[in-house]
Structure 1
Amino acid sequence: MAEDETTGPGTYWLTARQPHRLLGYSGLGVRHDSAADPYDTMPDSTAAKLSVRPEGAPAARDAYTAMRSAIRSLPSTVPVEFSAGDKVSEKTGGAECGVLCHTAVVDIALTNRMAEESVTARYEIELKAPNPDVHHFWDMDLGSCTVRLPAARPGTTVRGACTVAGAALRKAVDEATDEHGFVHLRLKTEATRTRFYVTGPSHSEDLLKELDSHTGHVLGTG
């Protein structure tokens, strides 16, 4: 059902006979009689304002043709809303120092345990070291870098790495170098997820079969 002055965009299921009671609704834009409360506080008893007019077989055929066209236009994978929870986990590795330890390479791995969905993520990785001059032990920021991981398909692990450099790291290394040229500096990494993108199969073929299985009954041709 398209959006109009009384309803929001979405799909409405109604009884076939008058007074056409509302059986179900899928969408977030339904308007209701009470005050404009947020979606997550709308009570189950909220009444949607609907008006229904019966139409003939030509309109039904046009509707089914439009639905078939919309389903056929779906790609094989589509963005999905998914709460990954413990289905996705990340792990950062240690920082490997470059020449004179003025650069540090940090790696991160993402494991996807979801059954059908693939996930792509981007992280900002911060490099820290103990700061003896402050109360918080790991409070010396040495720099950060960004990693964008490739898509992790279901049941796989993907890895990426980035390089931290800059004056803060060089200063910390220089101050930690002893008289024999050895660097004694403990490093810690923290990864913050800045983007999380999940895609899953559209199941367009299954949707098309399901639609076709009802076409004859609804149009009276089966």
Structure 2
Amino acid sequence: MLYLAIPAVLLLLIVFLALQPPLELRLQRALQQARQGDLRRLRALARKSVGDAAYALFLQLDANGEQAAALAALKRAVYARTWLDIRGCSVAMRAYGRRRFLGVGTIPDHAALLAEWSRPGWCSGAGWEPELAWIQACGPEACRDLARAWYWLCLADARRQEGMGEIRSVELAQQVREHLGPLVPASVRQAMQEQATETACRDFVSGR
């Protein structure tokens, strides 16, 4: 009897899914309700790992001043399994990283961010070079390494010159550069520049 029940259950599940409105339509309805102040449908889609819904929920909660809840929604967006507009995923990842770095909706854990963003591998630290430079120049004492901080600034420049993307957080990079200028000897700056150039070239060649 059990063997007969399994196909029947599967058939009912297929019929149920077929009767469900398309995800695009459900998201549109959820967004319409959210604009009227009702976030229930948006929350439901976010819980089902729909990144577009989770990011929209983040925007709504952030506008309401609920920063901790907004960060939680943003985390759901970053780790969502489904995106209708995949471009939103990179936007969510950037916003999530910046908020963790700045401590918006959470207590910043710069040591954890340093470990996460500088993990060895292809394009280590890509997109977060200014933030990594700040952590190693001005962050917790255990994270400080002025030579390494200068390296991250050089790496951002080298990657830009290789056509691997523009520097994010330009203003922060400039602030850290001005802070480090008198503190890092010229010989160390030169060594870090050479190391960063080698890293950028290696990343560029291996990523082609």
Structure richer in helix, relative to its length: 2
Structure richer in strand, relative to its length: 1
Q: TM-score, normalised by structure 2?
A: 0.19
Q: TM-score, normalised by structure 1?
A: 0.18
Higher relative contact order (CA 8 A, sep 6+): 1
